[in-house]
C-alpha cells in the first residue's frame, strides 16, 4: 500500500490560497451585454423629417391637375416654363385651353391651342400644350409632331421631353423613349415623373434589374 503522508495544516492552507488566486485569474470576466441595433429600425433623429424630398412644393406647378393613369400630373403647361413667355393676345386662348383640359374636353382644348399656333407660330408653349392634348387623345403621331416642334423652339422644357418619352413608350419605341426621358433627367434631375417613367420604360424594355 502506498504511504500517505499527512500535509501540515499551514502548508495546506497556503496551497489552497495559491490555487484560489490562480483560479480567479483564469476565470473569464463577465461583462454586461451590449444591445445590438436592429437594422429594421431607423435610428432616432432630433431633426425634423423632410416631408417633401422631391422639393416639388418649392417650385411653381408646371402641370395642371389632370391626372394620368399612373397617378402623376400630366396636364398642360403654364406660361412660366417658357422663357419667351406668352403674348397678351394669347392669354384668352391659353386660359380656354387650360380650362378645357381640366374638364378633359380634349377637342375644345386642341382647337384652342391650334388657334394659338396660328397666331404665334413660333411659340413653344402652344406646341407643347397641343402635344400634351394630342397625347391624351391617343393621337400619338400628332402629339409627337407638336412636341418635337416645341423642342425645336425651346429644348430646355423638361416636361416636353417627359411627354415625348411617353409618346414613344406608347408606340413601343423604347430606345427613343429612354433617350427622351434621359434628356428630361438632364434638364431636371429631381423631377419625380422623369424617374418614375424611366423605370417603367426600362422595365417594359426588358431591363427589369436595371429599373430596380
**CB burial class (10 A; 0-12, 13-18, 19+) of residue 138?**
exposed
Alpha carbon distances (Å) from 107 to 12, 16, 96: 111, 105, 12
Does pTM top 0.85 for this prediction?
A: no
| 170 neighbors 139 (Cβ within 8 angstroms) | no
Phi, psi of 186 (to 5 degrees): -65, -40
pLDDT higher than 70, residue 142: yes
Each residue's pLDDT tens digit, 51-95: 333 333 433 333 333 333 333 445 666 655 555 667 788 889 999
**pLDDT given at position 22:** 46
Phi, psi of 101 (to 5 degrees): -65, -40
Each residue's pLDDT tens digit, 11-49: 555 445 445 544 445 555 554 443 433 333 333 333 343
For the domain bounded by 61-211, which CATH number is listed? Answer: 1.25.40.10
Phi, psi of 177 (to 5 degrees): -65, -45
Question: For all residues of the chain together, what is the average pLDDT?
Answer: 73
pLDDT higher than 80, residue 50: no
**pLDDT given at position 89:** 83
Alpha carbon distances (Å) from 42 to 18, 34, 48, 145: 52, 18, 14, 49
* Residues 89-114, mean pLDDT to the nearest whole number: 93
Amino acid at each position: 500500500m502506498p504511504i500517505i503522508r499527512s500535509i501540515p495544516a499551514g502548508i495546506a492552507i497556503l496551497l489552497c490560497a495559491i490555487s484560489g488566486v490562480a483560479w480567479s485569474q483564469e476565470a473569464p470576466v463577465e461583462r454586461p451585454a451590449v444591445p445590438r441595433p436592429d437594422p429594421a429600425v431607423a435610428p432616432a433623429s432630433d431633426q425634423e423629417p423632410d416631408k417633401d424630398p422631391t422639393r416639388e412644393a418649392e417650385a411653381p406647378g408646371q402641370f395642371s391637375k389632370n391626372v394620368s393613369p399612373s397617378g402623376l400630373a400630366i396636364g398642360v403647361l403654364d406660361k412660366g416654363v417658357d422663357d419667351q413667355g406668352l403674348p397678351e393676345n394669347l392669354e384668352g386662348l391659353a386660359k380656354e385651353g387650360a380650362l378645357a383640359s381640366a374638364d378633359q374636353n380634349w377637342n375644345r382644348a386642341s382647337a384652342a391651342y391650334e388657334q394659338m399656333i396660328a397666331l404665334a407660330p413660333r411659340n413653344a408653349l402652344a406646341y407643347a400644350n397641343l402635344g400634351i392634348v394630342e397625347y391624351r387623345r391617343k393621337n400619338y403621331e400628332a402629339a409627337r409632331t407638336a412636341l418635337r416642334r416645341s423642342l425645336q423652339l425651346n429644348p430646355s422644357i423638361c416636361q416636353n421631353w417627359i411627354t415625348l418619352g411617353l409618346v414613344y413608350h406608347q408606340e413601343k419605341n423604347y430606345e427613343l423613349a429612354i433617350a427622351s426621358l434621359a434628356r428630361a433627367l438632364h434638364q431636371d434631375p429631381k423631377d419625380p415623373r422623369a424617374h418614375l417613367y424611366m423605370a417603367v420604360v426600362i422595365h417594359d424594355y426588358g431591363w427589369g434589374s436595371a429599373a430596380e
